[in-house]
Structure formats: C-alpha cells, structure tokens
Chain A
Amino acid sequence: MAPVTIWLGLFFLVPLLLILIFSFGRSGVYGGITLGFNPGNYLKVFDPLYLEIVGRTFVIALTNTLLCLALGYPLAYFIVFKGHRWRNALILLVMVPFWTSLLVRAYSWVVILNGNGIANRTLQFLGITDEPVTLIFTPQAVTMGMVYSYLPFMVLPLYAALEKLDVSLKEAAQDLGASRWHTFWRVTFPLSMPGVIAGSILVFIPSAGEFVIPNLLGGSRTVLMGNLIQQQFLQARDWAFGSALSVMLAVLLLGAIMFYIRRIGTDKLEGV
C-alpha cells in the first residue's frame, strides 16, 4: 500500500514541480525547453495585452461562480430535501449528461441556438421576436456554456454538505416558531457553508483555466488565460512562457482562495 501511495503522490506533484522548473527555462525556437534560471518569462506577462486577458479571465470566472451558486444551490436543496427516495437518482441524473462528450454537447448547443434553431423558433412562436436573433457565438453564449459546464461542480459538493444536515435541527427551529425563510438563512445556509466554499472553489478555479467553451460557443472571440496558455504550448511553441503564465495563474487563484477563506473564516471550512 505504501509504495503505491508514494508512487501516485509523485505523479500528482510532478506537473506542479515541472511547470515551476519550466517557467524559468528558455524556450527553443521550435519548442522544447532549455532549463536554467531565466525570470524573463515572468516579465513578459506584464504586457497590457496579457494583463487584459488575465483581468477578463478573473471577471468571467467570478461571474461563472456566482451564477453557478445561484442556480446550483436551489437545485442541490431540492434534491436533498424534496427528493426523498429519488435523491440518489436525481443526483446521478445531474451527472449523466456529462458523460457525453463535451464536444457533442457544445455542437448541439450551436444547433439549438443558431439562426433557425429551436431557441429562435420558440421566441418567434411566442411572439417575443419577429426575426432570428443572434444567440450563438456571443459573449452571452459563452457565459451560458460555462455555467452549463461547471454547474455539476457546484451541485455535487453542495449536495454532499446539505445531505448531512441534521434534519432535527431544522425541525427544532421551526417548532420554536421560526419561519421557513428564517430557518433557511439562520440554520441551513450557514451549516452548508463548507459546501458553498468547496463548490465555489471547484467552479472558480477550473473556470479560470477554461479554453474550450470560448472557442466552441463564442467563435473564438474571447481570449482567456486558458486559450493563451494553450497557444503558448502549441502554436507559439513557447513552453517557458506558457509555464510562467500557468504559475502566475496558479498563484493568483490561490491568493484569491486564501483571501476568500480567510474572510469567511477557516472555521467555516471545517464547520467547527
């Protein structure tokens, strides 16, 4: 057991360490890296074009997290408290669509949202619009696509946290005359905080590295950190710069999380 765990721990840490090492290397013209100490890669990041991309990425990741929370919490709540004996099925049903290739689902969204797709036809049928509206390959489509991709990452931890709540606490609160709203905000929600935090982290972090959705649903008109890093490793063949960007992204995200956790209070993470 021990050697296996060590071995696997190794593979887990390797990407982190290698990228750190690469970020100080020098990229060959044709790709590959010569190792050494070359902090210049980090200096390259401080270019208005790239900083703009970093900023945009954060805004989008944050928006995505908030939207996922707004949509995911009620869903998790519904499954846990109103799902009764269908709870397990309901949570599995949340995940099932995600076992279909993202590519297939993204292209299906294009079909739904394009000029004479279902969405437009429904809008015209309901009389809301007269003509087809451009729905796909817009920033809004990207936002929708990101929420679509990351909602389960929010729902699962929330489900895990809410599920353990002691029902008797809620009943007690209500027996003591608390209204439903009151019970929710004063009892349920605070106790579910570890789930909220875990879900927020699981959405925020990977959102910042997203590169597929902006291309598939946004017509590549939005450049995010994920796209930039991908480009550096592939088209630009600048592994060192790509690594430096990744490290910067990691540092910024970790900083944001630590700040978030500290504000909420580490005790909430433990729920103690």
Chain B
Amino acid sequence: MGTQKRISRSAFLKVVGAGVVASSTLSTLSGCTVSTTAKSGDGGGAGNENALNFYNWSDYVNPKTTIPNFEKEYGVEVTQDFYSDNEALLAKLQAGGTGYDVIVPSDYMVSVMRKSDIVQKLDRSRIPNFDNVSADFKGLPFDPNNDYSMPYQWGTTGILYNKKELGEISSWDVLWDTEYKGEIAMMSDVRETMGAALKLLGYSLNSTDPEQLEEAKQLLLEQKPLLRGYFASFEVRPLVQNGDVLLGHVYSGDGFLAIAENKDLDYAIPEEGATRWVDNMAIPVGAEHVDNAYKFINYILGAKAGASLTNYTFYGSPNEAAEPMIKKEILDDPRIYPPPEVFERLEVIEDIGEATRKYERIFTEVKSA
C-alpha cells in the first residue's frame, strides 16, 4: 500500500503546491488596480503588417462585397470575429482582452468606452470620408466631436405588430392594453424597455430623475402581468411571425425581416418618440494594426461601401453620399428612412453613468415581481 499512497499523495500535493504558487502570485498582483486600459496584445496577427482584426456584430457586413473588396483594394487580410452584446464586448476589453483593431460599439457604449480609456482618440485627418456622413449623424451626444467613433449603421426600436388583427398602431400605450393580455412581448434590454415606459410618460429615455424613474417602474410593474415575457429582439421576431404574440418590441431590422416573411405584419415608430440607435466603429487602445484600421474605417465611410451595407442589412446608413446607390425601396420606406417629423421624435441612448445601476435594479425588481 505504501508506494501507491505515495503516488497518489504526490499528485495531490502538486495541486496543493500549485495553490501556494497561485496565492503568492496573486498577492504580488493584488497591490495594483485591475487596469481598464487594454494592454497591447502579444497574440493575434503576430507582427503581420497586412492584417486587420475586426470585431463586429454577426451578419453586419455584406458577405459578398464589404470585406472582400476592402481586402482587394488595400491588400490587407481581414480576420472577423463576432460578439452579440455591447456589455460583453466591454467586459472583455476591460479584462484585457485585446488583439482587435476595429470594434463596433453602440452609441452609449462609445461614451462608456471613451470615459474608461478603452478606445483611442481618432486622427480625423486620416478619415477624409467623414465628410460623407450626414449632419444628423455627426457629433451625436455620446461623442460630440467624433473624436473616438465613426457611425456605421443606424436603426430604430419600435413595435412589430399584426396589422391585420389590430389595424394601425401609433402609440406605446398599445403595449399596456389589457385587451392583449398574454400577447405582448417586450425586450429584455433594460434601456429599451425602461425607455419605452419613459417615453410613454413623456420623459427622456435618458432620464436620471428619481421620481420619473419611479413612475416608469410603476408602469412596468403594471405591464408585467400582460406580457408573455422579456426577450431579445431576435426572439420576439419569430413569436410575432408565428402568431404567438400580437405585439412585439423590436429593433427595426428584426421588424423588417419579419415583415418580409409575413405580409400581415407592420412596424411602427410610436408617436411619443422612440430610440434611434447608432452603431459605430472605434479603435481600441493598444490596437496593433492602427494604419489598417484607419484605412478600413475610411473605406466603410465611402459611398459604395455604405450603400452595399444598407442594401444587405436593411438598416439605415448614416452616409449621405451613399444614398444615390441605395435601393430605392429602402430609401423610400418611411420606416427605415423616417420623414423629418418622425426623425425629430427619436432620441439617442446616452450613457447615464451611475444611474445605470439604478435602472438595472429597477428592472431586476420588475422581472422578479
């Protein structure tokens, strides 16, 4: 028995020994702040000059043209990885996950990232195509001088509904109508759902006023019994398409995908106002292929690239110069390119700093109720 015990014991002691080593390593580390600045990566595109590491949302480029054309024109090899959540992107970059040269954060996330030194200041002189961007998309609240980001695609959030059954819809309050109990689906995104409640109350969806937030909370608590649940936008889509739910809170793109499959459906931007969201390109601090990053951003802002993106994704392009090349059916669709009076009612989501946690807590309370 003796020798066998020794083997097993030694294997175990090694694990314990590892623990000791780990603790001592950590005690030396624990004197520091866990930095939120991304460190320069050692891996990924190791020293390859003609590479670009692009971190994007899935299915957000035209597979036939966007990247292949860029690669041909500039002789750069692009590696595209995907994420599906702004917050996950932030957490990964904050924990030090690097290697990417261009990322695509949404509006408020640009704010968060620039305030926590995750993205670097842009040298606008290297992005001449910025002139192509329409005035409505320059200098948005989350990045007043476009020092850190360049707009990529934009859309709205609204209501996808069965027009055949419900007729025309124009207000958020339909989502609170007890007649449709069990047939309403809201988004699980805290800013969007709180935003809908705040808009219905006539407030800004960036409000930090405690009273207004409390009112929104009450409204959401009232709504909960009427709901099927809180879902991601893309989950709401099949629910409305299938007829399981009559009213769904969705991003514009999901709305249009559903309408393409089911002609009974329609997408509405409520009259009280809604979200205008904008996804943007930015360069993380510590990016390895900064030159190629600038080339890429400038390329996307070119008229041709901008048009081919929109023609594929059916999201709006912030690129005025691209308009002549965008499919007419898209340009003419008031739901994708809303007329000025509707456009005015749209609000961009901004970072609200500390109040973010208040929103989170309210939403947790509502979901727990």
- A residues contacting B by CB (< 8 A) are 2, 5-10, 12-14, 17-18, 21-22, 25, 28-35, 49, 52-53, 110, 114-116, 134, 137, 215, 218-223, 228, 231, 233-238
Q: B1 an interface residue at 8 Å Cβ cutoff?
A: no
Query: Are A17 and B18 in touch, CB under 8 angstroms?
Result: no
Question: Which B residues are in CB contact (< 8 Å) with A236?
Answer: 356-357, 360
Which residues in B have their C-beta under 8 angstroms from that of A221? 224, 227, 229-230, 367
A114→B242 contact, CB < 8 A = yes
Given contacts A34-B33, A49-B361, A234-B85, contact A6 B21 (CB under 8 A): yes
Tell me the smallest distance from the CB of A217 to a CB of chain B, in Å: 10
- Per the bound structure, the CA–CA distance linking A33 and B356 in Å amounts to 17
Bound CA–CA A115/B229 (angstroms): 15
Q: Which residues of B contact A28 (CB under 8 A)?
A: 36, 116
Interface range for B: 35 or more
What is the predominant secondary structure among interface residues of chain B facing chain A?
helix
Q: How far is the CA of A28 from the CA of B354 in the complex (A)?
A: 10
**Which residues in B have their C-beta under 8 angstroms from that of A10?**
18, 21-22, 25
Contacts of B35 in A (CB 8 A): 32
Min C-beta distance of A232 to chain B, whole Å: 8
Question: Which of B19, B30, B36, B368 lies in contact with A30, CB distance below 8 A?
Answer: B36
- Which of B48-56, B87-95, B157-165 is the contact stretch? B87-95
Q: In the bound complex, what is the Cα–Cα distance between A49 and B14 (angstroms)? A: 43
Could you give, for residues 335-369 of chain B, a 1 whenever the CB lies within 8 Å of some chain A CB and a 0 otherwise?
A: 00000000000000000011011001100110110
Known contacts A21-B30, A114-B242, A218-B229; A29 and B22 CB within 8 A of each other: no
Output the least CB separation between A58 and chain B (Å).
15
Which residues from chain A contact B33 at a C-beta distance below 8 Å?
32-35
- Complex Cα gap A17–B260 (Å): 51
A51 to chain B, nearest CB (A): 11
Pair A228/B22 contact, Cβ less than 8 Å:
no
Contacts of B11 in A (CB 8 A): 5
Contact status B22-A13, CB under 8 Å:
yes
